[in-house]
Amino acid sequence: MTEDRFIRDLKIRTEKADRAVLSYLPKPERFNKTTVDAMLYSVGNGGKRLRPLLMIEFFKLNRNDEDLIYPFAAALEYIHSYSLIHDDLPCMDNSDLRRGKPSTHKQFGEWQALLAGDGLLNYAIETILNHTNYSKIPVETALICLKELLIASGINGMVGGQNLDLESEGKSLNIDELTLLQSKKTGAIIKAAGRIGVIASGGGGKTLRLADEYCENLGRMFQMTDDILDVCGNERLLGKPTNGDCSHNKSTFVSELGLEKAKKITGELAEKAIKAAKMLQNDFLGDLANFLLTRNK
Amino acid sequence: MTEDRFIRDLKIRTEKADRAVLSYLPKPERFNKTTVDAMLYSVGNGGKRLRPLLMIEFFKLNRNDEDLIYPFAAALEYIHSYSLIHDDLPCMDNSDLRRGKPSTHKQFGEWQALLAGDGLLNYAIETILNHTNYSKIPVETALICLKELLIASGINGMVGGQNLDLESEGKSLNIDELTLLQSKKTGAIIKAAGRIGVIASGGGGKTLRLADEYCENLGRMFQMTDDILDVCGNERLLGKPTNGDCSHNKSTFVSELGLEKAKKITGELAEKAIKAAKMLQNDFLGDLANFLLTRNK
Among A82, A163, A181, pick the best mutation site for testing chain B contact (most B Cβ within 10 A).
A163
Give the predicted TM-score (pTM) of the model. Answer: 0.95
Lowest-confidence pick of A16-20, B195-199, B253-257: B253-257
Does residue A277 surpass a pLDDT of 60? Answer: yes
Residue B241 pLDDT: 66
Instruction: For chain B, give the percent of residues with pLDDT over 90.
Output: 80
A141-153 per-position pLDDT tens digit = 999 999 999 999 9
Pairwise CA distance, residues A43 & B197, whole Å: 35
Contact pairs from chain A to chain B, CB under 8 Å: 142
pLDDT attached to residue B230: 82
Would you state the pLDDT for residue A139? 95
Instruction: Provide, rounded to the nearest whole percent, the portion of chain B with pLDDT above 70.
Output: 94
Q: Provide the angle, in degrees to the nearest 10, between the axes of the packed helices B283-293 and B205-232.
A: 20
Query: Using alpha carbons only, what angle is made at residue A233 by residues A229 and A236, rounded to the nearest 5 degrees?
Result: 130
Helices (H), chain B: 3-23, 33-44, 50-60, 70-88, 104-108, 110-131, 139-153, 158-167, 175-182, 188-200, 205-232, 235-238, 244-247, 253-257, 259-279, 283-293
Tell whether B108 is within 8 A of chain A (Cβ): no
Strands A101-102 and B97-98, bridge-based pairing: unpaired
Å between B291 CA and nearest CA of chain A: 32
**Cβ atoms within 10 Å of B240's Cβ, excluding its own:** 20
Q: Cβ B164–A31 below 8 Å, yes or no?
A: yes
pLDDT for A166-178, tens place per residue?
Answer: 999 888 899 999 9
Mean pLDDT (chain A, rounded): 93
Closest Cβ opposite residue A121 in set B34, B122, B160: B122
Flag if A31 and B160 touch (Cβ within 8 Å): yes
* Phi, psi dihedral angles at A102 (to 5 degrees): -55, 135
State whether residue B120 is helix, strand or coil: helix
Region A60-85: mean pLDDT is 97
Contact A196/B at CB under 8 A: no
Supply the mean pLDDT for chain B.
93
pLDDT at A270 over 70: yes
Nearest by CB to B151, from A126, A140, A163: name it.
A126
SS3 for B137?
A: coil
Distance, in angstroms, between A239 CA and closest chain B CA?
25
The predicted pLDDT at position A46 comes to: 80
User: What ipTM describes this predicted complex?
Assistant: 0.95
Would you state the pLDDT for residue B226? 86
Interface residue of A118, A127, A144, A186 to substitute, partner B, most B CBs within 10 Å: A118
The proportion of chain A whose per-residue pLDDT surpasses 90, expressed as a percent, equals 80
DSSP characters for chain A?
A: --HHHHHHHHHHHHHHHHHHHHHTPPPP-GGGHHHHHHHHHHHHS----HHHHHHHHHHHTT-S-GGGGHHHHHHHHHHHHHHHHHHHSTTTT--SEETTEE-HHHHH-HHHHHHHHHHHHHHHHHHHHHH--TTTS-HHHHHHHHHHHHHHHSTTTHHHHHHHHHHTTTS---HHHHHHHHIIIIIHHHHHHHHHHHHHTT--HHHHHHHHHHHHHHHHHHHHHHHHHHHH--HHHHTS-SSHHHHTT---HHHHH-HHHHHHHHHHHHHHHHHHHHHTT-HHHHHHHHHHHT---
Reported as a single tens digit per residue, the pLDDT across B199-215 is 999 999 999 999 999 99
Q: Which residue of B has its CA nearest to A30?
A: B164
> Distances in Å between the alpha carbon of B190 and those of A92, A159, B118, B129, B238?
32, 28, 21, 21, 20
CA dihedral B24, B82, A38, A223 (to 10 degrees): -50
pLDDT of amino acid A169? 86
- Whether A118 contacts chain B with CB within 8 A: yes
Amino acid letter, residue B75: A
- Residues found in chain A: 297
Measured distance CA(B144)–CA(B215) in Å, rounded:
19
By three-state DSSP, how is residue B171 classified?
coil
Of A34, A159, A184, the CB nearest to B163: A34
B154 touches chain A (CB under 8 A): yes
Query: Is B209 in the A-facing interface, judged by CB distances under 8 Å?
Result: no
Contact B114 A86 (CB under 8 A): yes
Separation between Cα atoms, residue B43 and residue A51, nearest integer Å = 33
Q: Chain A partners of B32 at a C-beta cutoff of 8 Å?
A: 155-156, 159-160, 163-164
Using 50, 70 and 90 to split pLDDT, how confident is the model at A252?
confident
Tell whether the model's pLDDT for residue A232 goes beyond 80. Answer: no
- Residue A154 pLDDT: 98
Residues sharing a CB contact under 8 Å with residue B25, sequence separation 6 or more, in sequence order:
B39, B40, B43, B44
Name the residue of chain B whose CA is nearest to A110's CA.
Answer: B91
- The answer, for B297 touching chain A at a CB cutoff of 8 Å, is no
Give the model's pLDDT for residue B244: 63
**Under an 8 A CB cutoff, do B156 and A29 touch?**
yes
Q: Inform me whether the C-beta atom of residue B110 falls under 8 Å from chain A C-beta atoms.
A: yes
Contact check, Cβ <8 Å, A119/B155: yes
Closest CB to A140 among B33, B118, B139: B139
Which pLDDT does position B255 carry in this prediction? 86
Cβ contacts of A160 on chain B, cutoff 8 Å: 29, 31-32, 35
CA distance A150 to A160: 12
Whole-angstrom distance, CA of residue B270 vs CA of residue B290: 6
The model's confidence at residue B8, banded by pLDDT at 50, 70 and 90, is very high
Mean pLDDT of B8-23: 97
Mean pLDDT over B26-35 rounds to 97
Contacts of B111 in chain A (CB under 8 A): 91-92, 166
Span B257-276, average pLDDT: 94
Residue A243 has pLDDT above 70, yes or no: no
Least confident of B26-30, B169-173, B186-190: B169-173
Q: How far is A177 from chain B (nearest CA, A)?
A: 10
Residue A49 buriedness (CB in 10 A; 0-12 / 13-18 / 19+): buried
Chain A within 8 Å of B25 (Cβ-Cβ)? no
Residue B182: its chain A contacts at CB < 8 A? none
Residues B237-252: pLDDT tens digits? Answer: 666 666 666 566 678 8
Distances in Å between the alpha carbon of B279 and those of A206, B29, B213?
Answer: 58, 49, 11
Whether the per-residue pLDDT at A245 is higher than 70: the answer is no
Q: Report how far residue A199's alpha carbon sits from residue A210's, in angstroms, rounded to the nearest whole number.
A: 13
pLDDT score of B31 more than 60:
yes
B55-69, B101-115, B128-142, B249-263: segment of lowest average pLDDT: B249-263
> Which residues, in sequence order, are bridge partners of residue B101?
B98
pLDDT tens across A97-128, in order? 998 899 999 999 999 999 999 999 999 999 99
User: Residue B91: its chain A contacts at CB < 8 A?
Assistant: 109-111, 114
**For residue B131, is pLDDT > 70?**
yes
pLDDT of residue B106: 97
- Residues contacting A68, CB < 8 A, separation 6+: A59, A132, A133, A136, A137, A200
Q: Is B214:B262 a contact under the CB 8 Å cutoff?
A: no
**Residue closest to A175 by CA, chosen among A262, A270, A272, A293:** A262
pLDDT at B246: 57
- Domains of chain B from N-terminus onward: 3-293 (1.10.600.10)
Query: Do residues A220 and A234 touch, judged by C-beta distance below 8 A?
Result: no
Decide if A26 and B111 are in contact by the 8 Å CB cutoff.
no
The pLDDT score that the predictor gives to residue A251 is 83
